[in-house]
Structure 1
Amino acid sequence: MAKKVFITGASGCVGHYLVESLLHQTDYELYLLVRNRAKLKTDLSIRSGVTVIEDNMSNIGAYKSLLATMNYVVSTAACWGGTEEVFQTNVHKTHELFDALDPEVCERAIYFSTASILDSHNQLLKEAGEIGTDYIRSKYDCLEYLESSPISKRLITVFPTLVFGGAADKPYSHISAGLKDIVKYVKYIRFVKGEGSFHYIHGSDIAQIITYLLTADQPKFCEHLPTRLVMGMPKSTVNGAIAEVCEFYQKRIGWQIDLSPTLINLIIKLFKIEVAEWDLFNVKLRHLTYDVVTPETFGLTSKYPRITNLFAEVGKS
């Protein structure tokens, strides 16, 4: 009998890559929760065993009986704006979703959080829970609950870093949607530099990892796997990224202005720019780095190992 997988947020950027991967690489029965079926662009007709549930997380309690039969759950759905809506969806209804799972039936429960709530050692960052945006604080609160919930022994939380992705048949991530605008300013970007580092990951590579997590031999697989997986390519520096992009677009780097935290704070004060306390904290932090996993961690091959791969994709679209 085919395994059952319940996926929330299937119509999002990452959701599209994941559904496409599971359709082609497994015979699992897929149950896709989407707010608007029209936004789900994946061709679901390629095989049977797919059920689309047009509803939202606010009504997740209606599927309690169904959820209790699931072998796997992948929760990617999230609300970004409106304090009440954010905490209702990202905390209370997400709790309700995972509480409905049967630990005797569910083999793996995968929860999508965000790397922003962790420090460089993949531990909870207290500032995220204190001064983070509504979205950040909701993710912080939800994780604290889930890691002590009845499903905790089946739980793997994944923390994407900067997410890229999107195509004609997939919605673009927030970052990829702005890449075309960045391309317009490459001729100016080459005149700045700054200390800082970060990780990124593409939606297709996220889908590779999640598909592996749902199909790997469970006893062998679970033995050494951390319950927190930060997904991202190896660390990139700000200056290295600028150099790589400029080389790709054949723009020579010469004299550069150093965008130090001191200069950034001066610009904020001079132009009276309103900046949230959380954003100021991240400007001061600068190095957003973690202990990461990549597709290669699981014996797979990343499709976007370099930053220029991301810009090459924009050039094709």
Structure 2
Amino acid sequence: MTPARILITGASGCVGQYTAAWLLENSDAELLLWLRDPAKLTAISAQHPRVQLLVGDLRDPHCFANQLATVSRVIHTATAWGDPERAHQVNVVAVKTLLGLLNPEVLEQITYFSTASILNRDLQPLPEALAYGTEYIQTKAQCLQDLEHHPLADRIVAVFPTLVFGGRVDGTSPFPTSYLTEGLEEASRWLWLARWLRADASFHFIHAADIACICGHLATTPKLPNREAGQGAVRRLVMGQPSISVNQAIATLCRWRGLRQTPGLPLWGWLIEALIKVLPIEINAWDRFSIKQRHFVHDPITTPERVGGHSHAATLEAVLADSGLPQRGKLHNQG
């Protein structure tokens, strides 16, 4: 059987490199890695016999038209944020152009990366995402809406990562460090204050290695019919570990850093509003919606175990250990 040809966009990013490494180790697929700067490819050898680099901007895909027509699977991780015009060009326009250059007679499946922030608990699109999300949130919501009506919709699996960890805080991992892992040191500096507070909020998280396991499985097995009821033509999978509360996360960080938790002051809605007015904090409409929603949880969620794999970091403690965040004092339960 001819090995699959898998295109990975955003291949130099954290998730892109974890996914490429998983595929090189667990499959015989040929990988086309689309990236802008080969120097950022730190965990994958550009000289690997099953790797071909496509160096260029996602907004100019026609220069790779011949290669795109040969791929059987696509893992589209590339994205943009910050600049509204660039975000629209990359997150909406470039996706449509890319899909138009694929060969329907060869293509089997597309794994399209979005963000769990645009879905509600039941994996349905949030109207608020389009109404007043950031440029990143709005373009992701718009693209998902467009993909539902695309001719290739029945071959698309949209994956929605929750909070993504990966790499190490000191940068010693060959894999890029995710923004959340980069922020662990800074978050630890605020534990002296956070340990006095209690918040009615919860979230999911996932390690990039576990995202790679899920996406690798999707890219190397036959596409299955959508198992989730109430979805459209595009299959939706939210990737994350079981939800934890903000209070549990703070308690875990306190134990990890050797800090004793204290009696907590509940962060009531009125108190949050008062702090926003008093402190030099600028918030937009999406921030206000997020503060009111508080519980960013989804059902069902997809872990590596759901696709027959094993989680690399199933708990926050495992994430912290993997990140290399210095541990101070013993892990022990405190009030």
The TM-score with structure 2 as length reference comes to 0.89
Give the structure 1 partner of residue 262 of structure 2.
254
Give the structure 1 partner of residue 90 of structure 2.
89
CA distance in 2 between partners of 1:223 and 1:130 (Å): 31
CA distance in 1 between partners of 2:211 and 2:44 (Å): 20
CA distance in 2 between partners of 1:186 and 1:94 (Å): 41
The structural deviation recorded for 1:224 is 4.8
Give the structure 2 partner of residue 300 of structure 1.
309
Give the structure 2 partner of residue 176 of structure 1.
181
Give the structure 2 partner of residue 101 of structure 1.
102
* Structure 2: stretches of 5+ with no match in the other structure: 229-234, 327-335
Cα deviation 1:169-215 (Å, max 9, x = unaligned)? 12111111101112233333211110001000000000000111111
SS in 2 for 1:267: helix
Give the structure 1 partner of residue 57 of structure 2.
56
The one-letter amino acid paired with 1:243 is A
The one-letter amino acid paired with 1:315 is G
> In the alignment, is the contact (CA less than 8 A) between 1:99 and 1:150 conserved in 2?
no
The structural deviation recorded for 1:123 is 0.3
> In the alignment, is the contact (CA less than 8 A) between 2:188 and 2:253 conserved in 1?
no
Change in Cα spacing, 1:45 to 1:57, as seen in structure 2 (3 Å) is closer
The structural deviation recorded for 1:99 is 2.2
Change in Cα spacing, 1:225 to 1:68, as seen in structure 2 (3 Å) is farther
CA distance in 2 between partners of 1:166 and 1:225 (Å): 32
Determine which of 216, 222, 225 is the counterpart of 1:223.
225
Give the structure 2 partner of residue 115 of structure 1.
116
CA distance in 2 between partners of 1:73 and 1:299 (Å): 21
The structural deviation recorded for 1:46 is 7.4
Change in Cα spacing, 1:171 to 1:152, as seen in structure 2 (3 Å) is same
* Structure 1: stretches of 5+ with no match in the other structure: none
Corresponding pairs, count: 314
The one-letter amino acid paired with 1:301 is H
> In the alignment, is the contact (CA less than 8 A) between 1:7 and 1:76 conserved in 2?
yes
SS in 1 for 2:320: helix
Counterpart mapping for 1:266-305 below 5 A: 266-271=274-279, 273-291=281-299, 292-305=301-314
CA distance in 2 between partners of 1:36 and 1:113 (Å): 22
Give the structure 2 partner of residue 310 of structure 1.
319
The structural deviation recorded for 1:244 is 2.2
> In the alignment, is the contact (CA less than 8 A) between 2:166 and 2:323 conserved in 1?
no
1:206 has 2:208 as partner: no
CA distance in 1 between partners of 2:271 and 2:62 (Å): 50
SS in 2 for 1:18: helix
The one-letter amino acid paired with 1:11 is S
Identity %: 39
Cα deviation 1:111-142 (Å, max 9, x = unaligned)? 00000111111000000001000000000111
CA distance in 2 between partners of 1:177 and 1:260 (Å): 29
SS in 1 for 2:309: coil
The structural deviation recorded for 1:84 is 0.7
CA distance in 1 between partners of 2:76 and 2:220 (Å): 17
- Decide which structure has greater helix share: 1
> In the alignment, is the contact (CA less than 8 A) between 1:103 and 1:150 conserved in 2?
no
> In the alignment, is the contact (CA less than 8 A) between 1:5 and 1:72 conserved in 2?
yes
Change in Cα spacing, 1:229 to 1:299, as seen in structure 2 (3 Å) is same
SS in 1 for 2:90: helix
CA distance in 2 between partners of 1:69 and 1:315 (Å): 40
SS in 1 for 2:20: helix
